[in-house]
Amino acid sequence: MSDLRRTLPAVHVLLEQDGVRALAERVPRSVVAEAVRAELAAARTKPAHAPTTEEAWTAAIAARLAASERATLQPVLNATGVVLHTNLGRAPLAEAAIDAMADVARGFASLEYDLVTGARGSRHVHCAGLLRELTGAEDALIVNNCAAALVLALNTVADGREAIVSRGELVEIGGSFRVPDIMARSGARLVEVGTTNRTHAEDYRRACTAQTGAIVSVHRSNFTVDGFVAAVPTRALAELADAAGVPLLYDFGSGLMLDLAPWGLRGEPTARDAVAAGASLVVMSGDKLLGGPQAGIVLGRAELVDAMRRNPLARALRVDKLTLAALQATLRLYREPSRAVRDIPALAMLTASAESLQARAAALVARLPGARVGARVASTEATVGGGAFPSSRIPSCAVVLAGDAERRERALRDGALPVVGRIADGALWLDLRGIAAADDDRLLQAIVEAVR
C-alpha cells in the first residue's frame, strides 16, 4: 500500500466532520455515506488528486452529493440547429398537450372506462377517431413507437411467412434501429429484392409466392439516393400487393400531417398521402414531424388494424394515459392547420422566418455583456432532424460566442439550464432554430452565467 493510500481517512472519521454532519441534516445519512465512500474510492484511484484538508474533503463530498442529487434527465435548450434532435428527446410538446397530460396525470382517467355507458371501455378509442378524420384511414392504433408499430404489423400479418423488401430500403434509422434486424424479430422471414440503387415492380412480383405474408416499403427518411436509381412508387406497389393478395406495410417514419412546402420543406409525403397511396398499413412516429409524444401510430385497413389490436404483442407495446392524452391534444390542433403550425412547437420552429430568428439573435447579442462574451450574430443552416427532409437546409441564425469554444461549450452544458450548441470554426454556435422565442430570456441568462 502506498503512503498516500494509507493516509486516507476512514469513512466514519469523514462522517463525523462538522461539515459532513451538516450535509446529513438535509440528505439521508445513508446517501451522505455513499458519497463519502465514492469520494474515498476516487481518492484511492487518483491519490495525487485526493483532498488533503478537512475543508477540502467536505467540499468534495458536498460536490459529489450535489451531482448525485441532480436528475440525469433534465430540460435543456437545443441550440444545435437540428430541430427534432433524437438525443434531445425529439419534439417538444404543445401547451395543449402538456395541459392534457397534467390533467390525467394528477388523478384517475377514463382510460379504459366508457363514460357514456358506464362500462368497461378501450384505451384504443382515444386517438383513433381523430386519426381517421385527419388522415382518411379506416382505423388507427397507437403503440410505443414506430419501431414497435413495425414489429407488431409484421408479426400480425407475416409471422412465419415471408416479408418482401427492397435492398435499397434495408436502412439504419439510427441508434439500434436497423430495418432488417427489426423485421427478423417480428417472426417474418426477410426476402430481399432488387439492388441498392434500383428495384423494379418485376422484382417484387417475382418474389411473391404462397409463402408471402407482406410487402414492406420503408421510407428512406434519413438519406437520399440519386444518380442511376429506380424505386416503385407506393401507389404502384400497393396495386401490385393487391394483385398478389398480400398487404403492403408502409413505414413512412416522419408522421408529417401537413404539407410544409409553403415553408420550403418539400419531398416528404404526409400521413394522408401515405394512406391515399393505398398502403394497407402505414406506420409512423408520434414525436417527429407530427410534434407529439413518443408513440407509434398505425393507420390502415380496419380488419388489419383490428387484427393488430387483438395480437397479444399489442399488450406489451401499448401506451399509457399520458401518451394518449398528449397525442389526442396534439392531434386536435391539426383540425385547424394554421393553429397547428402556430401551437405545435416543432412546426412553429421549422416554419419561423429567418428574419425573425435574425431579429431575436440581434436582440440577444445586444443584451449580452459586450466584450467579455464577444458575441455576434451569424447566418446558419438548420436541419429538420428526426430522419426527415434529410437534404433540406433551413436558413437559420445563431449567436456565436468568441473565446475558448471548448470551455464555453462545457460551461453552457454544466449550467442550471444546460444549453447544447455546436462548435465550428473554433467558436461556439448557438442556433436559434430549435429554441422557442419564449425561451430567449432563459438562453440569455444561461449564457451570462456560463461566461461569468
CA separation for the pair 340, 291 (Å, rounded): 9
Q: Are 287 and 91 in contact (CB under 8 A)?
A: yes
Q: Residue 108, Cβ neighbours under 10 Å: how many?
A: 8
Smallest distance, Å, CB 299 to ligand PLP? 14
Judged by CB under 6 A, the residue of 166, 199, 221, 280 near ligand PLP is 221
Q: Are 37 and 45 in contact (CB under 8 A)?
A: no
* Residue bearing cell 408529417: 256
Task: Kindly tell me which of 62 and 298 has the beta carbon lying closer to ligand PLP.
Answer: 298
Judged by CB under 6 A, the residue of 145, 155, 323, 330 near ligand PLP is 145
Judged by CB under 6 A, the residue of 139, 251, 268, 440 near ligand PLP is 251
Would residue 374 be called left, alpha or beta, if left means φ above 0 and alpha means ψ between -120 and 50 degrees?
Answer: left
Smallest distance, Å, CB 387 to ligand PLP? 4
Query: Is residue 135 at the binding interface for ligand PLP, with CB under 6 A as the rule?
Result: no
Q: Which helix (H) or strand (E) holds 367?
A: helix 354-367
* Residue bearing cell 444545435: 80
| Binding region for ligand PLP (CB under 6 A) out of 16-24, 145-153, 369-377, 414-422 | 145-153
Q: How many residues bind ligand PLP (CB under 6 A)?
A: 13
Query: Is residue 147 at the binding interface for ligand PLP, with CB under 6 A as the rule?
Result: yes
- Could you say which DSSP state residue 230 is in? B
Query: Is residue 194 at the binding interface for ligand PLP, with CB under 6 A as the rule?
Result: no
- Which x/- pattern, by CB under 6 A, does the window 266-285 give for ligand PLP? -------------------x
Q: How far is CA 140 from CA 19, 180, 299, 340, in A?
A: 59, 25, 5, 20
Judged by CB under 6 A, the residue of 61, 91, 101, 146 near ligand PLP is 146
| Binding region for ligand PLP (CB under 6 A) out of 141-149, 185-193, 204-212, 235-243 | 141-149
Residue nearest to ligand PLP (CB): 253
Of 181, 338, 203, 195, the C-alpha closest to 259 is 338
DSSP 3-40: HHHHTSPPHHHHHHSHHHHHHTTTS-HHHHHHHHHHHH
Task: Kindly tell me which of 194 and 292 has the beta carbon lying closer to ligand PLP.
Answer: 292
Query: Is residue 81 at the binding interface for ligand PLP, with CB under 6 A as the rule?
Result: no
Judged by CB under 6 A, the residue of 218, 319, 329, 333 near ligand PLP is 218
Which residues sit at the interface with ligand PLP, rule CB under 6 A?
145-147, 173, 177, 218-219, 221, 251, 253, 285, 296, 387
